[in-house]
Amino acid sequence: MSGRISIALAAGDGIGPEIMNATLELFKAAGVHDHADFIPVEMGRSVFEKGNSRGMTDEAIRITEQCGLLFKGPMETPKGGGGKSINVTARKLWNAYANLRQFKTLPGVETVYTRAGHNIDFSIVRENIEDTYGGVEHRLSNDMIQCKRLISAPGCDEVHRFAFQAARRLGLKKVHCSHKANIMKMTDGLFLDRFRAVSKDFPEVETADVIVDALCMNLVMKPEQFQMIVLPNLQGDIVSDLCAGLVGGLGFAPSANIGKHISIFEAVHGTAPDIAGRGIANPTSLILSGLMMLRHAGLLKQAAHIENALLATLESGVHTGDFGSKDKPAVGTIDYVRAIVERLGGKPTTVDAVPVPEQATPTFRHPQRPAAPHVIRTYTNVVTHVVGCDIYLDTPLSPISVAEEMTRVCEDTPFRLTLISNRGTQVWPTGSVYTECVDYYRVRFELKDGVAPGSFGQSRCVALMDRVAEKFTVCSYELLRSFDGAKGYSLAQGQ
């Protein structure tokens, strides 16, 4: 395929416009502009300041959706006022479900690992839509606030399939799934189960799983044992920044957010307002993110030439003020990029050069715009039965007092009281006097012996909740169901 592509361009806040202009100068010198048009869109601080809590104009949304590609600089999240992170909003709005970040040892970027002789080269794939990043939070009582963690089977399938496809494309032999399924047995358990299911379609790729806390330790101790790691959203966010520290910081960590229809390529470091306008910012992260975008679009030859020139520049000792040898004067943003431009067509000599493919015209074609939001499914034809409910109460009573009240409430219903927990720990029918309780209880009702699952729907549970609400403040309610005979809910700690 050939022709021109259009890329929505959001320069960003703080140092964003400086590093974006410098990066585009480099891209133009490498011939990228012969095949791509960069269309400015309005996003970030200026939009927030006009009262738009999305941080992007309607026109910016329209252009980005028309292009299918967004190249963006760092953007400021407003402090207070209700505006949410534009980075998270953009990923979720356009369903950029997989975040790919690559971490490589770069010449001229000294770290404790380069001094120890460790060569780092691996990727992190992070689920980008779900988990606690749904931002679903509620104040449930005077002392308790809840954040819901949402993990779906289709969401897991999408990110795992992307990870394996990326591993295949990059020639990687092994993919790790990192998780906390030893504690969050249902949410992270699902993430791990779907990893194993999807892996069956990629038999050439070796798989392993690792608990996230052990992963962090191993990344610090021996990072070269990993090639690609796929993680849920929050864990992936934290681990990605840890990995950036291994290679010199966020200034050397590119980021791509990949979706079926729209993909976003961005620098993930901050806006650095303290140095904005001084012309001294380091554009490396944005350049590397741009190279991921060029490769995604099919401009493989241009990307390889730029990367080789960047590596050659770094090994020569050219550096901005935030890294590099103090024996050599630092250069500003534009001079740093112009040093790369001077080396276009050259190759590094102290590290392996990137192979230069012949492919130099765009292969990216923006998929057809969907007519409506698409409902994605993994499990179908599952037999479900109502088996009870969890009712959450705001009350300062003791566990024994709560149990006495709840036992009376359910006397002439199909349900019996089976559990009371506080902050996830069982406090009735057994528990410890050393367990401190707050003013928020989970009260679990399950079917009495002899009542068959499937005898009725959830209306009886709602009626029970209505009874409870006559005496207590009900904060929330969760239906308990079985799915193909297996419990669809977890035990309490200590149960």
- The DSSP-derived string for 132-193 is GGG--EEE-SSS-EEE--B--HHHHHHHHHHHHHHHHHHT--EEEEEE-TTTSTTHHHHHHH
- Residue 385: strand pairing partners: 482
Percent of the chain predicted with pLDDT > 70: 99
Instruction: Report the CATH number that the domain containing residue 478 is assigned in CATH.
Output: 3.30.70.1570
Residues 320 and 430 in one domain: no
| Confidence bin at 20 (pLDDT 50/70/90) | very high
457, part of any domain: yes
Residue 86 has pLDDT above 90, yes or no: no
Looking at residue 487, what is its pLDDT?
96
Residues 13 and 156 in one domain: yes
Radius of gyration for the alpha carbons in the chain, expressed in angstroms and rounded? 26
Looking at residue 148, what is its pLDDT?
95
Specify whether the CB–CB gap between 244 and 109 falls below 8 A: no
Q: What is the biggest distance separating any 2 CA atoms in the chain, rounded to whole angstroms?
A: 84
349, part of any domain: no
Residues 85 and 145 in one domain: yes
Residue 331 has pLDDT above 80, yes or no: yes
Find where tokens 């977890």 sit. 490
Residue 180 has pLDDT above 70, yes or no: yes
Q: Whats the size of the chain, residue-wise? A: 495
Residues 330 and 415 in one domain: no
Residues 147 and 245 in one domain: yes
205, part of any domain: yes
226, part of any domain: yes
Looking at residue 360, what is its pLDDT?
95
pTM of the model: 0.94
493, part of any domain: no
Mean pLDDT to the nearest integer, 194-210: 98
Expressed as residue numbers, the domain containing 245 is 5-342
13, part of any domain: yes
Residues 81 and 214 in one domain: yes
For 260-279, write each residue's pLDDT tens digit: 999 999 999 999 999 999 99
Find where tokens 């276009």 sit. 344
Could you give the number of structural domains in the chain? 2
Residues 281 and 403 in one domain: no
User: Can you tell me the distance from the alpha carbon of 151 to that of 163, in angstroms, rounded to the nearest whole number?
Assistant: 17
Looking at residue 1, what is its pLDDT?
44
User: Can you tell me the distance from the alpha carbon of 172 to that of 300, in angstroms, rounded to the nearest whole number?
Assistant: 19
Instruction: Report the CATH number that the domain containing residue 313 is assigned in CATH.
Output: 3.40.718.10
Mean pLDDT to the nearest integer, 127-134: 93
Looking at residue 81, what is its pLDDT?
57
Residue 82 has pLDDT above 60, yes or no: no
For 351-377, write each residue's pLDDT tens digit: 999 999 999 999 999 888 999 999 999
Specify whether the CB–CB gap between 233 and 180 falls below 8 A: no
Residues 318 and 397 in one domain: no
For 32-55, write each residue's pLDDT tens digit: 999 999 999 999 999 998 988 889
